[in-house]
Amino acid sequence: MANPSLLILAGDGIGPEVMAEVKKIIGWMGAKRGVHFDVSEDLVGGCAYDKHGTPLHDDTMAKAQAVDAVLLGAVGGPKYDVLDFSVKPERGLLRLRKEMDLFSNLRPAQCFDALADFSSLKKEVVAGLDIVIVRELTSGVYFGEPRGIFKEGNERVGINTQRYTESEIARVARSAFELARKRNNKVCSMEKANVMESGILWREVVQEVHDREYPDVALTHMYADNGAMQLCRWPKQFDVIVTDNLFGDVLSDMAAMLTGSLGMLPSASLGLPMANGRPKALYEPVHGSAPDIAGQGKANPIACILSFAMALRYSFGMGEDATRVEKAVEKVLADGVRTADLMGPEGGTPVSTTQMGDAIIAALDASL
């Protein structure tokens, strides 16, 4: 039986630094668990533009389509701000999502007990928080046509079109309901059906999919602006939230900060099943390339490590090992090990990016 295949695209800024710590865990999996991966590496984002004049070379795109999963670090940086929109680093990531048809973006927001004081909300509001936002990723206002900046009379007008088909809504709804069945069997769908026709269709289709295929899952509907308020008021009322591309972008960033640090949060972007029955998938930390700290050993690798744990669970069917990695992270944090972004008034043991990775490896060793 062939080893599972993984394409690593470390990208720009702190991407290579945090990805180096994931490689340690991949090596540990082979040495200590007898689980080996066929790993290949390539370029995406600014580094790909520097070499190829494009943020994602066609050959890299072909590799991404062929492997079991893609693990991405981060893209972008101020040196690329002057580039034409069509070749900015972020276009490489968008192309991966679009051409792999990764329509379902899973962004967990989990608040580890050791970090409950880091949230801007009261500890009792966020302690124990464990929710997932399922964001539709390949349609909606970011991709709808017409779009662009046009001249109308004596002024310019910017146009973006919010567009969804029934099938696009139905498939991301199924993704949310399937996830809910593995968690607490509860989904809240968010849109703006009070002012947007696309929101009306969204609500109708989600309800139809529920009634026809998932009547066992508790479903509620909420306007997205109220959802934002409720996330700040009492986020633990939610379990799985499903929403469109634009609202998902905003709400998942809001949920991310409930946990105290973007350096802690992973994500998975999933598509339709491949021949082996597992979905096409791309895993990446929520944080950006953080060029201001790149190369200084200050980056927190936990989000990238937890993204790999998501790959173990969703792409490779290794739920036990995924939990093992997650528990190792939890243990290290409980022991007070802290990268710079996690140093609060209560102190802790300050460590570099590499030292955090080493501490997690030690916790993994202790778990055997």
Residues carrying an active site annotation: 142, 192, 225, 249, 253
For tokens 């795109």, the residue is 61
Q: What is the dihedral of CA 352, 355, 361, 367, to 10 degrees?
A: -90
Nearest to 288 by CA among 116, 20, 6, 78: 78
Chain centroid to CA 197: how far? 28
Pairing, β 279-285 against β 69-74: parallel
Q: Contact, 307 vs 127, CB < 8 A?
A: no
For tokens 């200050």, the residue is 298
Q: Contact, 191 vs 197, CB < 8 A?
A: no
- The runs of H, that is alpha helices, within the chain are 15-33, 46-52, 58-66, 89-99, 123-126, 166-181, 197-213, 224-233, 245-258, 302-314, 319-334, 353-367
Pairing, β 144-152 against β 155-161: antiparallel
The amino acid sitting at 268 is: A
The C-alpha angle 52, 56, 61, rounded to 5 degrees, equals 120
Peptide bond into 16 cis (omega under 30): no
